Amino acid sequence: MTGRLNGKRAIILGAAAEGNLGQVTARQFAAEGAKVLVAGRHEGPLKALADEIGGAYALCDITDEGQLAAMVAKCVDSFGGVDLAVNCTGWGLLTPFLDNTREELEKMCALQFVGPFQFFQAVLREMADGGSLVQVSSATAKIMMDDHSAYMGTKAGIDHVIRTIANEFGSRGIRANSVAPGFTASPMTERAAKNPAVVGAFAKEYPLGRVGTLKDTAEAITWLCTDACFMTGEVVQVNGGVTLRRNPTNAEIVAAAKAAKAAREAG
């Protein structure tokens, strides 16, 4: 690594699942010289990661305003301030539009709109001038995917909030951007990612010929947090060009999986 984040003090929320995007990003930040506080809802993985990278951790549910404030205070107490903040949380709900319940919608809004809004509020109250905020969005905030309306709508909404932050806090040199991965093998997509036919159904829609990796997304987040980045208020489409095309439909995914199963049985 090149020390692109030397001296930076970072919060990464959503790093409590082994091998998820938050953890991959935290390791890259630490390798680039940042002091990193990792946060989420499960203490065991957070403590292990913090010990591994020489950082700190905080238990934090993004839907709890008090816990968000305490997390930021822990970063300030541990490192003396906050320069970088990344929200990697999300809930990949897949439900047909007419089947979404009020309970699901309220939970989704709490997790992917109100929570991130208040996360960035809490961070900005302490963030040093010249800092950087990154929201993990999704290619589906721009292009379609079946049965994903609540997820897609809240991701698109918080992307627009990021633009307002960029506009309001640019005078302090603070940048705010989103990154939008497409289908990625991760703990959130573990079942689908283990099926080569499903992965292949997505990959054929990607101009670069493959689906993304967590490292692809973490690299984009890292660059957005470097002083070399002169970008704010944007959604960086880190998805191999899938937004130039489309996601496969449910019917196409099912057909690909059935065809692969039939081929295996025939062989």
Radius of gyration of the chain (CA): 19
Tell me the CA end-to-end span of the chain in Å, nearest whole number: 46
Catalytic residue positions, numbered: 151
Helix (H, G, I), strand (E, B) or coil at 179: strand
Q: Which residue do the tokens 């289908």 mark? A: 183
Which of 127, 112, 119, 124 minimizes the C-alpha distance to 60?
A: 119
C-alpha dihedral over 32, 35, 40, 46, to 10 degrees?
90
Name the strand (E) or helix (H) holding 239.
none
Q: Answer positive or negative: Cα dihedral of 192, 178, 118, 214.
A: positive
Please tell me the distance from the alpha carbon of residue 69 to that of residue 153, in angstroms, as a whole number. Answer: 26
Q: How far is residue 263 from each of residues 196, 197, 267, measured CA to CA in Å?
A: 13, 11, 6
Q: Edge to edge, what strands does the sheet with 35-40 contain?
A: 56-59, 35-40, 9-13, 82-87, 127-136, 175-179, 235-236
